């Protein structure tokens, strides 16, 4: 199991996995007073958390499925990426895609965070690419 350094300046417990097979940990809003998020509006919600991720990993910020389907609330830049060299507070960009106000309360579970390994790429300049069965077919090219 990977160890990640964390500073918790919030009033809430550390992020945790809901089940033994969960990929994401719920993050909570750390706010002084309720926030009313009107339809079509977006807001940056603080969590009070600061983390140090090992190089070669990132933290992905993803919507919570329950908030998305039941309330129309999602993470606008989904998935958001927290890079290994970022040391600031984790803040989450939420948007209300419903037609009703949504009230964000202190301690509300607002998103999931997934720790994921990633690779760095190095460009190799060539004159042509290897042929493939798909070729340059783009969006909807298979008719499905």
- Say whether pLDDT at 142 is over 70: no
Is 133 a member of any domain?
A: no
CATH number at residue 14: 2.70.40.10
Residue range of the domain that includes 100: 5-117
Q: What are phi and psi of 105, to 5 degrees?
A: -110, 160
- Say whether pLDDT at 73 is over 80: yes
**Which segment of 18-27, 56-65, 133-142 scores lowest on mean pLDDT?**
133-142
Q: What total of structural domains would you count in the chain?
A: 1
Is 128 a member of any domain?
A: no
Looking at residue 135, what is its pLDDT? 75
Is 32 a member of any domain?
A: yes
Is 108 a member of any domain?
A: yes
Looking at residue 137, what is its pLDDT? 72
Is 88 a member of any domain?
A: yes
Looking at residue 143, what is its pLDDT? 65
Is 130 a member of any domain?
A: no
Is 54 a member of any domain?
A: yes
Looking at residue 144, what is its pLDDT? 60
Q: What is the mean pLDDT of the chain?
A: 94
Which token pair is 121? 């790429």
Looking at residue 139, what is its pLDDT? 72
Is 45 a member of any domain?
A: yes
**Which segment of 5-14, 62-71, 127-136 scores lowest on mean pLDDT?**
127-136
Element (H, E) at 57: strand 57-62
Q: What are phi and psi of 104, to 5 degrees?
A: -95, 125
Q: Does residue 103 sit in helix, strand or coil? A: strand
Percent of the chain topping pLDDT 90: 89
Q: What's the mean pLDDT in 20-41?
A: 97
Task: Give the residue carrying structure tokens 């190095």.
Answer: 122
What is the per-residue pLDDT across 105-138, written as a single tens digit (0 to 9) for each? 999 999 999 999 999 999 999 999 999 887 777 7
């Amino acid at each position: 199991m990977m160890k990640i350094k964390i500073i918790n300046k919030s009033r809430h417990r550390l992020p945790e996995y809901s089940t033994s097979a969960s990929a994401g940990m719920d993050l909570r809003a750390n706010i002084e007073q309720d926030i009313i998020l009107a339809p079509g509006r977006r807001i940056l919600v603080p969590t009070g958390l600061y983390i140090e991720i090992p190089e070669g990993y990132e933290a992905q910020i993803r919507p919570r499925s329950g908030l998305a389907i039941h309330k129309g609330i999602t993470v606008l830049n989904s998935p958001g990426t927290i890079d290994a060299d970022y040391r600031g507070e984790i803040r989450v960009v939420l948007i209300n895609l419903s037609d009703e106000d949504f009230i964000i309360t202190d301690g509300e579970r607002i998103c999931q965070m997934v720790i994921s390994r990633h690779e760095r790429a190095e460009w190799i300049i060539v004159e042509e690419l290897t042929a493939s069965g798909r070729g340059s077919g783009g969006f909807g090219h298979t008719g499905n």
